[in-house]
Amino acid sequence: GFIYTGEVVHRMLTATQYIAPLMANFDPSVSRNSTVRYFDNGTALVVQWDHVHLQDNYNLGSFTFQATLLNDGRIIFGYKEIPVAVTQISSTNHPVKVGLSDAFVVVHRIQQIPNVRRRTIYEYHRVELQMSKITNLSAVEMIPLPTCLQFTSCGPCVTAQIGFNCSWCSKLQRCSSGFDRHRQDWVDSGCPEEGYKICEKNIDTTETSLYSTTTLLPTTTKFRVLTTTRGSTTSHLPTSLPTEDDTKIALHLKDNG
**Which DSSP category does 255 fall into?**
-
Question: Is residue 42's pLDDT more than 90?
Answer: yes
**Beta strand segments in the chain, E:** 3-4, 18-23, 35-40, 44-52, 63-70, 75-81, 97-109, 117-128, 138-142, 167-169, 174-176, 224-230
pLDDT in tens, 63-116: 999 999 999 999 999 999 999 999 999 998 999 999 999 888 888 777 777 777
pLDDT tens-digit series, residues 143-199: 999 999 999 999 999 999 999 999 999 999 999 999 898 898 998 899 988 756 578
What average pLDDT is seen over the chain? 79
Whats the size of the chain, residue-wise? 257
What is the band of 23 on the pLDDT scale with cuts at 50, 70, 90?
very high
**Exposed e or buried b for every residue in 9-47, given b needs 16+ CB within 10 A?**
ebbbbbbbbbbbbbbbbbebeeeeebeeeeeeeeeeebb
Average confidence (pLDDT) over 40-50: 96
CA neighbor of 148 nearest in space, from 103, 178, 193: 178
AA letter at 47 = V
| For the chain, domain boundaries | 3-102+122-144+212-224, 148-194
More reliable by pLDDT, 220 or 157: 157
Q: What percent of the chain has pLDDT over 70?
A: 77
Higher-confidence residue of 232 and 113: namely: 113
User: Mean pLDDT throughout 209-221?
Assistant: 37
pLDDT of residue 195: 58
pLDDT at 236 over 70: no
- pTM of this prediction? 0.71
CB of 25 closer than 8 Å to CB of 1: no
Burial class (CB in 10 A: 0-12, 13-18, 19+), 78: middle
